[in-house]
């Protein structure tokens, strides 16, 4: 199954093969977890959101339209779950508090950790909607059109949100008086 396309795995799941869905979880758990982590700002919520997103996808798989890309669909579910959690909590924690650092070499670790901390803190002060477009663009490398499908807004709105979010990030990082 490892070489099967996403839509093949969806079809196999719909035909009763649970292991096919497990394969999809394996493919997208990193993306969904990181999206949830950046939006919610803590690891417990990110884990809950990721699990809820995959279960919702499984339950609603019959509604997935194979004319579209599976990753856009699962990203959208994950994003909405994360935004729901943030909306319920009404608190925006600084992300540096809980987001663990990625693996890095010894020399890079201190410098990267400090840079990542500042960026994480600045990201955490953006609204969830602005945070989402930054994460989808810069962490996941999605195009404007792909982000538009995930977020459910026109591509020109994505471009506008990205511009505003980056401007705010630049302003915050510059206000700290240190190089980002």
Partner 1 sequence: MSIRQLEQLFWEEFDGPTEAERRQRIARLAASSPQTGDRLAELERVAVSLAALEEVAPPPELRAMVRGAIANRPAHDADSGLIGWLRPLMAARWPARLAYAGLGAALALAGISLTSFERSAVDPAERGRMAGALNVPATQPVSLAFEGGALTLSRDADRLVARLTAPAGELLRLSLSSPLGGLRAARVEPIGAGRHELTAGGGTLELAADGSVAVVVELGAAAGGPLDLRLSVAGEPVLARRFDPDSPTFQALDGNQQ
Binding site for partner 1 (CB under 8 A): 11, 13-18, 21-22, 25-26, 29-34, 37, 43, 47, 50-51, 54-55, 58-59, 61-63, 65-67, 99-102, 112, 115-116, 118-119, 134-135, 137-139, 144, 162-163, 166-167, 169-170, 173-174, 179-180
| Cβ contacts of 105-114, under 8 Å, gap ≥ 24 | none
* Least separation in angstroms between CB 169 and partner 1: 6
20 close to 12: Cβ distance less than 8 angstroms: yes
Q: Nearer Cβ to partner 1, position 90 or 103?
A: 103
* Rounded CA separation 115/100 (Å): 13
Strands in the chain per DSSP E = none
3-state secondary structure of 144: helix
* Least separation in angstroms between CB 84 and partner 1: 18
* Least separation in angstroms between CB 149 and partner 1: 15
Q: Nearer Cβ to partner 1, position 85 or 162?
A: 162
Element containing residue 78 per DSSP (H, E): helix 70-89
Q: Nearer Cβ to partner 1, position 90 or 164?
A: 164
Count H helices, E strands: the chain? 8, 0
Taking alpha carbons only, the member of 47, 40, 38 closest to residue 88 is 40
Q: Nearer Cβ to partner 1, position 76 or 140?
A: 140
* Least separation in angstroms between CB 132 and partner 1: 13
* Least separation in angstroms between CB 10 and partner 1: 9
Please give the radius of gyration of the chain, using alpha carbons only, rounded to the nearest integer: 17
Q: Nearer Cβ to partner 1, position 51 or 80?
A: 51
């Amino acid at each position: 199954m490892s070489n099967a396309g996403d839509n093949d795995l969806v079809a196999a799941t719909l035909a009763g093969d649970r292991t096919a869905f497990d394969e999809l979880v394996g493919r997208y758990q990193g993306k969904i977890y990181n999206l949830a982590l950046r939006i919610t700002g803590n690891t417990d919520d990110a884990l809950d959101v990721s699990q809820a997103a995959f279960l919702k996808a499984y339950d609603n798989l019959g509604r997935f339209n194979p004319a579209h890309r599976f990753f856009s669909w699962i990203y959208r579910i994950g994003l909405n779950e994360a935004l729901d959690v943030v909306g319920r909590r009404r608190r925006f924690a600084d992300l540096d508090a809980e987001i663990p650092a990625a693996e890095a070499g010894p020399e890079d670790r201190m410098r990267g950790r400090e840079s990542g901390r500042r960026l994480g803190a600045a990201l955490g002060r953006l609204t969830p909607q602005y945070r989402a477009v930054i994460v989808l663009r810069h962490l996941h490398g999605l195009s404007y059109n792909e982000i538009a499908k995930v977020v459910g807004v026109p591509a020109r709105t994505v471009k506008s949100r990205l511009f505003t979010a980056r401007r705010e990030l630049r302003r915050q990082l510059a206000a700290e008086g240190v190089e980002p």
